[in-house]
Amino acid sequence: MRTLFKRHRQVLVFIVGGGLSALIDVGLMQSLILAGINPLVAVSAGFWISLLVNYAFHAKVTFESRTTVANLSRFACLVGINYLIALACVSLTLSLFDNALTGKLLSLPIIAINSFLVSKHWIYK
C-alpha cells in the first residue's frame, strides 16, 4: 500500500482535493437551488467558490508549487474552459430532464480529467 501511495501520490492527492472541491460545489449549488435561486446562478456560485478551494489545495498540496502570475493565468484559462463544460452539462440536463444536479454530476469527471492533465502538464510544470 505504501508503495502504491508513493507511486501514485499526485493522482491520489488530486482526487482527494477534487472530492473536497466537488462536495463544496455540489453542496452549495443544491443549497442555493433549495433556497429558490435560479439553477444556473446556483451552479455558477458553487463552481466559483469551489475553484478557490481547488486552486489553493492543488497549488500547495498536490503539485507543491508556488503561486505565480504565470500559473494563476494558466489556471484562469483552465477555469474558463471548465466553467463552460459545467454550464453546458447543466443546461443540457435542464432541457432534457429539468434537473440541474444530473448535469453537475455529469460534468465532474470530465472536469476532473481535464483539470489533472492540464494542471500537471501546463499549469504547474
| Residue in this structure with the C-alpha cell 481547488, named with its chain if needed | 54
Choose among 124, 13, 31, 30: nearest CA to 78. 124
| Residue 90 lies in domain | 2-123
For 15-56, the DSSP string reads HHHHHHHHHHHHHHHHHHHHTT--HHHHHHHHHHHHHHHHHH
The x, y and z cell numbers of residue 90, run together, are 447543466
pLDDT digits (tens, 9 = 90+) for 70-104: 998 999 999 999 999 999 999 999 999 999 999 99
Statement: residue 7 has pLDDT above 80: no
pLDDT confidence bin for 1, thresholds 50/70/90: low
Q: What is the largest CA-CA distance in the chain?
A: 48
CB 119 within 8 A of CB 63: yes
Domain count within the chain: 1
pLDDT confidence bin for 108, thresholds 50/70/90: confident
CB 51 within 8 A of CB 21: yes
- Mean pLDDT computed over 14-43: 94
- Mean pLDDT computed over 60-69: 91
- Alpha-carbon torsion (65, 86, 111, 31), positive or negative: positive
pLDDT of residue 24: 96
pLDDT of residue 35: 98
The x, y and z cell numbers of residue 94, run together, are 435542464
pTM attached to this predicted model: 0.73
